[in-house]
Amino acid sequence: MYAGASRPLRLVELGPGRGTLMHDVLRVFSQFPAARSAVKEVHLVETSQPMRAAQKLKLGPIAWKNGWSLSWHDSIDSLRPYADKFTLLLAHEFFDALPFHLLEKTHQGWQELLIASGSDPAARTTLKPDGSPSLDVSTLRPLASTAPRFREVLFPTPTPTSTLLGLSSRRFLKLPVGSRIEVSPASFKIARQVGELLHDKASDGSRSAGSALIVDYGGNKVYGNSFRAFKNHQIVDVFHRPGECDLTVNVDFSYLAEAAADLATSHGPIPQADFLQRMGLEARVNALKASAKDEGRRKQIEDAAKRLVDRTGMGTQYQVMALTGKRAAEPADEEKWPFVAA
């Protein structure tokens, strides 16, 4: 992506997990003297104290060995645009875990689906406009122990929130009555803040202040039924054991691009398979296999690479999009690689 024009590098990751991805990035940077000297700061946006401790153990040795500072942030709010440093930002499986609203288009407008207790459809649970539940008690009976304790109910009228979110993208206006959409205002806000970090407003469009790489489940469209839960690597009902399951929703990459459109240029998204293959995955795999000590290890490397680019699985389920600070000049194809046709 766009060069930093010899500026120091500021590395940022949103939701870094145990620090595995950032560790790989730092390990690569440390192998090249010019890159090693360019990096000055590593910033991690992480709210969990146990995860921060794990990240410190993982990243501390390599960062401190190379003289790179490590900083943690509760939110992206505490990171400020800094054009004197070129920001490289990563967000891997970050946006899919952010809160969202589920809306349905009716003849009245956009109405929100909320959560109510009880799972028996015969109970005819409704929601009054003031939000209080109303139950026909004559139909109630004990719930089976395996039945979900919650279910979706449609709020009976449009609300200011549902109306505003339904108007937050022009793409939503053309959807027919009966359509459902999953809309994340948190994603919109953070994507815009990312754009602010990448935009060099003082340069009059002559240069960018950074680049971002976003990798996640999703596509270049709005989704209406992608909300799902995982427990022990298996998909389960979203109301199964609340608080103990990983919840995820597909990312509307167009929504992220729209959020930062006046600040950053979007590239992609493209399938993970295309991204990795254009970035030289085959050569990297061959090099790793050549250095492997035995056939078993070579087979592990080959199988892992195949999973990453499997077009019936991870290779297309994961999409990759880049954002670069907006410039006046249209970037050349070599600047946009690998987000151009091969």
What does the pLDDT read at residue 13?
A: 98
User: How many other C-beta atoms lie within 10 A of the C-beta of residue 93?
Assistant: 18
Q: What is the pLDDT of residues 218-266, one digit of tens each?
A: 999 999 999 999 988 888 888 888 888 899 999 999 999 999 999 999 9
Question: Pseudo-torsion of CA 46, 52, 55, 56, nearest 10°?
Answer: 130
Q: What is the pLDDT of residues 265-287, one digit of tens each?
A: 999 999 999 999 999 999 999 99
Of 156, 83, 144, 151, the C-alpha closest to 118 is: 151
SS3 content of the chain, % helix, strand, coil (to 5): 35, 25, 40
R_g of the chain, CA atoms, integer Å? 23
Give the single-character DSSP code of 8.
P
Beta bridge partners, 89, equal: 12, 212
Per-residue b or e along 274-311, where b marks 16 or more CB atoms closer than 10 Å to that residue's CB: bbbbeeeeeeebeebbeeeeeeeebeebeeebeebbee
Give the single-character DSSP code of 174.
T
What does the pLDDT read at residue 4?
A: 55
* CA atoms of 301 and 249, how far apart (whole Å): 30
Instruction: Give the rounded percent of residues in the chain with a pLDDT score beyond 70.
Output: 89
Q: Which residue has the tokens 């207790």?
A: 117
User: Rounded to a whole number, what is the distance in angstroms from the first to the last CA of the chain?
Assistant: 16
Residue count (the chain): 342
Is the CA virtual torsion 71, 74, 78, 79 positive or negative? positive
Q: CB–CB of 73/40 below 8 Å?
A: no
Residue 69, CA distances (Å) to 12, 30, 76, 260, 315 in order: 12, 14, 17, 28, 34
* CA atoms of 143 and 119, how far apart (whole Å): 8
Sequence ranges of the domains in the chain: 9-99+184-224+249-336, 101-182
What does the pLDDT read at residue 139?
A: 42
> What angle separates helix 20-30 from helix 49-65, to the nearest 10 degrees?
10
What does the pLDDT read at residue 119?
A: 58
Average pLDDT for the chain: 89
Q: Is 71 helix (H, G, I), strand (E, B) or coil?
A: strand
- Would you state the structure tokens that stand for residue 231, as one six-digit string? 């427990």
What does the pLDDT read at residue 137?
A: 37
Question: Is the entire prediction scored with pTM above 0.75?
Answer: yes
Above 90 in pLDDT, residue 79?
Answer: yes
Above 50 in pLDDT, residue 133?
Answer: no
Q: What is the pLDDT of residues 82-104, one digit of tens each?
A: 889 999 999 999 999 999 999 99
Q: What is the pLDDT of residues 10-59, one digit of tens each?
A: 999 999 999 999 999 999 999 999 999 999 999 999 999 999 999 999 99
Q: CB–CB of 113/103 below 8 Å?
A: yes
Q: CB–CB of 104/110 below 8 Å?
A: yes
Average pLDDT over residues 159-170: 97
* CA atoms of 108 and 103, how far apart (whole Å): 12
Above 50 in pLDDT, residue 124?
Answer: no
Sheet of 246-248: strand order equals 234-236, 228-231, 246-248
Q: Does domain 9-99+184-224+249-336 have CATH number 3.40.1280.10?
A: no
Phi/psi for 321 (5° steps) reads: -130, 145
Q: What is the pLDDT of residues 147-156, one digit of tens each?
A: 567 888 999 9
* CA atoms of 112 and 99, how far apart (whole Å): 14
How would you class 169 by CB atoms within 10 Å of its CB: exposed for 0-12, middle for 13-18, buried for 19 or more?
middle
What does the pLDDT read at residue 6?
A: 78
